Amino acid sequence: MIDISAPPQPETAAVTPRRRRGLDRRHIPVLATLGLLAFMYGLGVANYDNFSDAQVFLNIFVDNAFLLVVAAGMTFVILTGGIDLSVGAVVALTTVLAATLLDAGWPAAVVLPLVLLMGTSMGLGMGAVIHYFKVEPFIATLAGMFLARGLALLINRNSIPITDPFWTAMAQERIRFAPGIFISTSVVIALVVVLIGAYVLAYTRFGRTVYAIGGNADSALLMGLPVGRTRIAVYTVSGFCSSLGGVLLSFYMLSGYSLHAQGMELDAIAAVVIGGTILTGGSGYLLGTVLGVMVLGMIQTIIAFQGDLSSWWTKIVIGVLLFAFIVLQRLVTRRTS
H helices of the chain, in order, are 16-20, 28-47, 54-79, 87-103, 108-132, 137-155, 165-172, 185-203, 205-215, 217-222, 227-253, 264-274, 286-306, 312-336
Q: Are 148 and 142 in contact (CB under 8 A)?
A: no
CATH topology of domain 25-336: ABC transporter involved in vitamin B12 uptake, BtuC (1.10.3470)
- pLDDT tens for 234-280 read 999 999 999 999 999 999 999 999 999 999 999 999 999 999 999 88
CA distances from 122 to 24, 82, 130, 234, 235 (A): 37, 16, 12, 12, 9
Which residues does 57 contact at the CB level (< 8 Å), separation at least 6?
41
Which run of H or E residues covers position 174? Answer: strand 174-178
- pLDDT tens for 178-198 read 999 999 999 999 999 999 999
For the chain, the domains span 25-336
Closest by CA to 242, choosing from 118, 98, 62, 58, is 118
Query: Percent of the chain beyond pLDDT 70?
Result: 92
Position 16 scores a pLDDT of: 38
Amino acid in position 9: Q
CA distances from 20 to 14, 64, 288 (A): 11, 36, 21
Position 335 scores a pLDDT of: 60
Position 297 scores a pLDDT of: 95
State the DSSP code for 207: H
